[in-house]
Structure 1
């Protein structure tokens, strides 16, 4: 694990155990050069403890890159609460996590992520002020979706020559809070939606409300479309799945979509434009960060509007330098983070 921390530039890794609640959690702090580490809290099952630690480390680095490219005065961090097999009451878990976050004295600020909700953040807030995405602040998911929608328009312009989405076939993988909100924006813009989700209720809802066409989860990547939009968990783009893709671009909300940076070169070789995840999906972080600072809804909306422009800049650099957008975004972020 130390090797992974060194290779990713991770500053600290905290392992948290609370006997009374049964909490087992990991907090990774990647970089605090620009400010305190800010990043969401996951509540998921993992095959083993090492997988949870590796997930937290990789996600924390992504948050540092995301904050840097979004121009936010925060570093990157991530919390992972390992979900027990049986959870009668999750509140004590998050209250215990809140007590530990308080002990970090402001070095890490948490927020909603996969598997958590505003009620969980409220439990954390009983013991620390270093939390956002509470009921009072609101769920950042709609802001993530709005930013991704803006990024998809920029991606369509860069790859297809127009940001008009009417009539485009867009395949959405994952219809959670972000994925469904994004689907609503895309449908309102006239896109034809192909959707998949592990929960059939989400798919049925999209069929009824958005006239979406369902596709089996295992078949969506190989289904012909204009833009493939991953909105579930990470590492969905690997050598095998990229070989199956039949799209012009990939632009989604999921974190850590690439199983490795080499996959970006495979996408480039196939002529598939890739929107770096920590650029396009930064809307939730922007909302969490600026809400934590007490900024207005107008200021947050204005900052969200810069996502599409930043993505256009990344594409322009990539074309000029003959590199993949993923590698360009990483280089830009590392330049900002460099001491």
Structure 2
């Protein structure tokens, strides 16, 4: 059994031990484009409907669709990180979690698809000190790179490269995150620090 499974992040323990009906986690996406819209689109049992919030962005039709389809609430961009939800999901611009907003996040985890979500290393340290789990963005959003590479190497005129099934590759993101959280917990470090160490090991730098 690997370290990630033996030593889960303390947030994972809290989520596992918490007594509540099984239902999807409430999330609050920042951004309602193709990636931001996805967290709210997962199916859920009819009796466990819980609010999913979206920020006010230029894609008004997407926001209106989210309100109609999911019963979502809409929040101002500068306040959405303060929502009392399980997961805050930045899916728009980077640098949204600053040393100030990190003290205001009420979610139990920050896990979004935007690049470079942490404005500074100190912002990540603040989240960790407050017991808020941060999923490193370049691990969480790796599906874009994986699918893009597969599409590139299957274009006409290119040498064929065999890839494992896309679904299998995407599933490994989950396992990699667990490994990162386990290493971070074991070493008393932040997940983003553990992720960078692992990345450097993998590429030999």
Q: Quick check: 1:233 aligned with 2:90?
A: no
1:184 to 35, 38, 41: 41
Match of 2:166 in 1: 300
Q: Quick check: 1:194 aligned with 2:49?
A: no
Could you tell me how far apart the structure 1 residues matched to 2:13 and 2:191 are? 12
TM-aligned CA deviation for residue 249 of structure 1:
0.7
Q: Is the 8 A contact 1:159 1:249 kept in 2?
A: no
User: If each structure's strand is expressed as a fraction of its own residues, which one has the higher value?
Assistant: 1
RMSD: 2.5
Runs of 4 or more, structure 1, over 3 Å off, are 154-159, 187-192, 295-298
Q: Is the 8 A contact 1:193 1:211 kept in 2?
A: yes
Give the secondary structure class of the aligned counterpart of 2:32: coil
Cα gap change, 1:167 to 1:280, in 2 (>3 Å): closer
Q: Which has the larger radius of gyration?
A: 1
Match of 2:134 in 1: 274
Unaligned runs of 5+ in 1: 1-153
Match of 1:257 in 2: 117
Alignment of 1:299-338 (within 5 A): 299-338=165-204
Tell me: higher relative CO, structure 1 or 2? Use CA pairs within 8 A at least 6 residues apart: 2
TM-aligned CA deviation for residue 192 of structure 1:
3.2
Match of 1:175 in 2: 32
Could you tell me how far apart the structure 2 residues matched to 1:299 and 1:269 are? 39
Could you tell me how far apart the structure 1 residues matched to 2:163 and 2:55 are? 32
TM-aligned CA deviation for residue 197 of structure 1:
3.3
List per-residue Cα deviations over 1:122-177 (Å, max 9, x = no partner). Answer: xxxxxxxxxxxxxxxxxxxxxxxxxxxxxxxx997465127x97153211110101
Cα gap change, 1:196 to 1:159, in 2 (>3 Å): farther
Cα gap change, 1:225 to 1:182, in 2 (>3 Å): closer
Cα gap change, 1:274 to 1:158, in 2 (>3 Å): farther
Q: Is the 8 A contact 2:88 2:111 kept in 1?
A: yes
Give the secondary structure class of the aligned counterpart of 1:206: helix
Q: Is the 8 A contact 2:35 2:91 kept in 1?
A: yes
Could you tell me how far apart the structure 2 residues matched to 1:306 and 1:242 are? 28
TM-score w.r.t. length of structure 2: 0.80
Match of 1:8 in 2: none
Unaligned runs of 5+ in 2: 1-8, 155-160
TM-aligned CA deviation for residue 180 of structure 1:
1.1
Q: Is the 8 A contact 1:159 1:248 kept in 2?
A: no
Could you tell me how far apart the structure 2 residues matched to 1:235 and 1:193 are? 22
Cα gap change, 1:300 to 1:168, in 2 (>3 Å): closer
Match of 2:158 in 1: none
Could you tell me how far apart the structure 2 residues matched to 1:278 and 1:167 are? 24
TM-score w.r.t. length of structure 1: 0.50
The size of the alignment, in residue pairs, is: 184
Q: Is the 8 A contact 1:170 1:225 kept in 2?
A: yes
Q: Quick check: 1:161 aligned with 2:16?
A: yes
1:215 to 72, 75, 90: 75
